[in-house]
Amino acid sequence: MSVTSQSSGERTDRAEVELRVPADSAYASVLRTTTAGLAARLDFTIDDIEDLRIAVGEANAMVLEHADAGSDLLCRFHLAPGRMVVSVSVAAATQPVPDLDSFAWQVLTTLASEADISTADGRFAIEMTMTSSAAGF
Amino acid sequence: MTGLPARDDGPAEAPTEGLTRTEITRRRSAELFGELRGDIASEAARTHARDALVHLHLPLVEHCARRFRNRGEPFEDLVQVGTIGLIKSIDRFDTERGVEFSTYATPTIIGEIKRYFRDKGWAIRVPRRLQELRMQIGSATAELTQTLGRSPTPRELAEAIGCSVEEIVEGLESSNAYSTLSLDATDDSDDGGSSMLDAIGIDDEGLEHVEIRESIKPLLEKLPPREKKILLLRFFKNMTQSQIAAEIGVSQMHVSRLLNRTLEQLRSSLESAEPE
């Protein structure tokens, strides 16, 4: 895992975290736990954190279905105060057609402030934006 | 809990005046209940009688608690919860019914200890410190949700409890190790199976794709009523976990666990239903 501060001089108010794990559902809990841990430090509320945990789990399940065998799952977190953009992606040679009617997607779009699916460049990616519901953001 | 009185149930204590120890206890117990229930006794005398009754019957609690030793919970904790059962029994005991108090109290004490095991059962042994922290987080979350009008952030929880944000994160993680065993046991029941699904037909603005409901409907039907209710409130009425917790009368953590488990179940049934 790597954490990079965009503005190295001052205190981080924006950071990137990347997590690469084998494309295997056994790692879903690692993703969920990491997400929760990061969100807790960005002043998300307990409810938000639980939502994030579920959303990432669903996104994970959606992309894994189409992952190339033996490939990795890449999870990127863009962190800002009270805001987190999570992108979960896998290499998918099959050019999958995202199922926007699926229950998982329904759950995900309910939980995230914004959610987007893309299938460009041989990758199947889901990007979600979550905003903290604590006052001030 | 008040300090335990000096133990006096050693075998060395010989029966006095031809009475066995049990008989002495019974006699003393009857006297004290007389004082407790008597019309003439002052409030102070009653309080004293009640305390004395608790102390008198503590060996009974210890006896009951001993049956649950070696189940992973400290003996002292079992004595404590058992004592709660004892106090309840003292307050509810009807002296008119001609039953010995110990006969009446034993099931209540054991029931209280069993309930403790049921409520405090952890799937994975979590360090005691974390169990306590988790309970603190639970109650602080409830309080702060009340005062803030939204669920608290870990930082707010840390300030309320007086620990670090790291510890809160750790505590939240540990709560995922908590067993979900027997949560279905107490369903509050008002709604029968179909009424909830009928209800979403009316105000399901959050549900745009009718065909989704059709595909998950059979799966929803199979869920226990409470899980179904939580799922529908969360995704079709768009309530937060805290709001659902308040509506259903359980903690937010409990809602979270139920929700996670239900989604997991739904996902696996959907996957097995339509293989790709």
- pLDDT tens profile A104-129: 787 888 888 899 999 888 899 999 99
Order the strands of the A114-118 sheet from edge to edge: A2-5, A15-22, A72-80, A83-91, A123-131, A114-118
Q: Measured between CA atoms, how close is B217 to chain A, in angstroms?
A: 11
Q: What's the rounded Cα separation, in Å, for the pair B5 and B58? A: 9
Residue pair B164/B275 in contact by the 8 Å Cβ criterion: no
Using the Cβ of A94 and the Cβ atoms of chain B, whether some distance falls under 8 Å is answered with no
Q: Report whether pLDDT(B210) > 70.
A: no
pLDDT confidence of residue B17: 61
Q: Which residue has the higher pLDDT, B272 or B43?
A: B43
Span B146-176, pLDDT tens digits: 888 888 999 999 999 999 988 888 888 776 6
Interstrand relation of A83-91 and A114-118 (parallel, antiparallel or unpaired): unpaired
For residue A102, being part of any structural domain is answered with yes
Residue pair B240/B210 in contact by the 8 Å Cβ criterion: no
CB contact under 8 A, B267 and A41: no
Using the Cβ of A45 and the Cβ atoms of chain B, whether some distance falls under 8 Å is answered with yes
Tally the domains of chain A: 1
Provide the β-strand partners of residue A130. Answer: A84
For residue A54, being part of any structural domain is answered with yes
CB contact under 8 A, A57 and B235: no
pLDDT confidence of residue A102: 75
CB contact under 8 A, B209 and A48: no
For residue A60, being part of any structural domain is answered with yes
What count of CB pairs under 8 Å joins A to B? 87
For residue A110, being part of any structural domain is answered with yes
For residue A5, being part of any structural domain is answered with no
Q: What's the rounded Cα separation, in Å, for the pair B191 and B33? A: 44
Interface test with B, best of A46, A52, A108 (most B CBs within 10 A): A46
Instruction: Indicate which CATH number applies to the domain containing A83.
Output: 3.30.565.10
Q: Measured between CA atoms, how close is B130 to chain A, in angstroms?
A: 16
Q: Measured between CA atoms, how close is A61 to chain B, in angstroms?
A: 9
Q: What's the rounded Cα separation, in Å, for the pair B70 and B193? A: 41
pTM summary value: 0.51
Query: Range of A84's domain?
Result: 16-135
For residue A1, being part of any structural domain is answered with no
3-state secondary structure chain A: CEEEECCCCCCCCCEEEEEEEECCHHHHHHHHHHHHHHHHHCCCCHHHHHHHHHHHHHHHHHHHCCCCCCCEEEEEEEEECCEEEEEEEEECCCCCCCCCCCHHHHHHHHHCCEEEEECHHHEEEEEEEEECCCCCC
Residue pair A127/A86 in contact by the 8 Å Cβ criterion: yes
Q: What's the rounded Cα separation, in Å, for the pair B12 and A127? A: 75
Which residues of B are less than 8 Å from A57 in CB distance?
Answer: 260, 263
Q: What's the rounded Cα separation, in Å, for the pair B204 and B236? A: 6
For residue A11, being part of any structural domain is answered with no
Using the Cβ of A40 and the Cβ atoms of chain B, whether some distance falls under 8 Å is answered with yes
Which residues of B are less than 8 Å from A135 in CB distance?
Answer: 150
Provide the β-strand partners of residue A84. Answer: A79, A130
CB contact under 8 A, B209 and A101: yes
Q: Label residue B213 by pLDDT band (50, 70, 90).
A: very low
Which residues of B are less than 8 Å from A102 in CB distance?
Answer: 212, 270
3-state secondary structure B6-49: CCCCCCCCCCCCCCCHHHHHHHHHHHHHHHHHCCCCCHHHHHHH
**Six-digit token string for B92:** 């509810």
Interface test with A, best of B139, B153, B228, B269 (most A CBs within 10 A): B153
For residue A101, being part of any structural domain is answered with yes
CA-closest candidate to residue B180, choices B114, B122, B246: B122
Residues for chain A: how many in total?
A: 137
Position B122, amino acid: W
Span A42-94, pLDDT tens digits: 889 988 888 888 889 889 988 988 899 899 999 999 998 888 999 999 999 88
Given the structure tokens 């979350």, which residue do they identify?
A: B141
